[in-house]
Amino acid sequence: MSNYEVLSSVIKNRRSIFPASYIQKEIPIAAIEQILESANYAPTHKLTEPWRFTVIRKDAKARLGETLGNLYKSKIPAHQFLQKKYDSFSEKTSQAGCIIGINIQFHPDKLPAWEEIAAVGCAVQNMALTAETLNIGAYWSSPPLIDDLGEFLGLAENEKCFGLFYMGYHNEEPKQANRTPITEKVKWLDK
Ligand SMILES: Cc1cc2nc3c(=O)[nH]c(=O)nc-3n(C[C@H](O)[C@H](O)[C@H](O)COP(=O)(O)O)c2cc1C
């Protein structure tokens, strides 16, 4: 296969795979390191390299589930509280082999925030594609509660969490992406 064919097949086969599909099989630290290494090669304007990660494994997964559940309970008005939703946080974190906090370090003196967010989006796509090549399922989770995870994730003043990257081995069949054709989204200017 040509480089293009390899890359195109990894890009097209990558799907968001959710915790309910994960099997209980530990993800080796070496695989997590490969995934993080790919993140580090994302493009970055002015070389600010704004991506910061918090790797959450083993007992820390249960602590994250508990923290998310407690945050949910404290934020939601009592009459809207759903026990099922509360329980889902710990369920998901225990199903995951590893969870990576996706954080951004901002440099307002150098760049507008959107450029740092865009760079981190590229970094996360590198992670997702690398996970795909390692047969590890993953998805980017962005519940509003991530705004209150700073203490848990150990973030500094100029850092903010933008999501949780859930990962796990799985036995899902390859699934076609649900996309409309690119031709509907492109204008060509030739003259
Ligand atoms: C920035 C970002 C945030 C996302 N947040 C969530 C989320 O909170 N919950 C969720 O179920 N999926 C989330 N997703 C995953 C999308 O649901 C998923 O990419 C979409 O359904 C397309 O499926 P695919 O990734 O398999 O192609 C997020 C994706 C991105 C890029």
DSSP 111: S
CA 19 to chain CA centroid, Å, is 12
Among protein residues, the one with the nearest Cα to ligand 1's atom 20 is 16
Please indicate whether residue 16, judged by its CB atom, sits closer than 6 Å to ligand 1. Answer: yes
Please indicate whether residue 177, judged by its CB atom, sits closer than 6 Å to ligand 1. Answer: yes
pTM of the model: 0.97
Helix 3-13 to helix 113-133 angle, to the nearest 10 degrees? 100
pLDDT digits (tens, 9 = 90+) for 68-83: 999 999 999 999 999 9
pLDDT for position 143 = 95
Cα of 5 from ligand 1 centre, angstroms: 25
DSSP 141: E
